Amino acid sequence: MIPSRILSRRHFLIAAASSAAVVALGRHSELHKRGYAKVVPAAEDLRLTLLRSAIRAPSPHNAQPWIVELTGGNGMRLFVDRSRLLPFTDPSARQIHIGQGCFLELLEIAARSSGYRAEITYFPEGEYANGTIDGRPVAAITLHADQASMPDALFAEIPRRVSIKIPYRQDRILSPADAKALKAASHSECIQWRMIQDKSLLQSLAGICKEAMAIEVSSRDRNRETAQWFRFSDHELADKRDGIGLAQSGVHGVRKWLAEALLLNRDRAADPHGFFTRGAITLAGEQAATASAFALLIGGANTRMEQLLTGRAYARVHLTATRLGLAMQPLSQLLEEYAEMAGARQRMREILDVPKGQTMQMLFRLGYAKPTPLSPRREVRSLLRQTVAS
The whole-angstrom separation of Cα 192 and Cα 163 is 22
Locate CATH 3.40.109.10 in the chain. 176-219+272-367
Q: Are 247 and 259 in contact (CB under 8 A)?
A: no
> What architecture (CATH level 2) is domain 176-219+272-367?
3-Layer(aba) Sandwich (3.40)
The confidence score (pLDDT) of residue 386 equals 65
The confidence score (pLDDT) of residue 36 equals 34
Query: Span 19-161+378-383: which CATH code?
Result: 3.40.109
The whole-angstrom separation of Cα 152 and Cα 300 is 29
Q: CA distances (Å), 59 to each of 4, 205, 273, in order?
A: 29, 23, 27
Q: Which of 176, 139, 162, 187 is nearest to 297 (CA)?
A: 187
Contacts of 123 (CB under 8 A, 6+ apart): 136, 137, 138, 139, 304, 305
- Identify the sign of the CA torsion 356, 186, 328, 201: negative
Q: Are 46 and 4 in contact (CB under 8 A)?
A: yes
The confidence score (pLDDT) of residue 390 equals 34
pLDDT in single tens digits along all 390 residues of the chain:
444 333 333 333 222 233 333 223 333 333 333 333 334 444 579 999 999 999 999 999 999 999 999 998 899 999 999 999 999 999 999 999 999 999 999 999 999 999 999 999 999 999 999 999 999 999 999 999 999 989 999 999 999 999 999 999 999 999 999 999 999 999 998 999 999 999 999 999 999 999 999 999 999 999 999 999 999 888 899 999 999 988 888 776 766 766 666 666 788 889 999 888 998 999 999 999 999 999 999 999 999 999 999 999 999 999 999 999 999 999 999 999 999 999 999 999 999 999 999 999 999 999 999 989 999 999 999 999 864 443
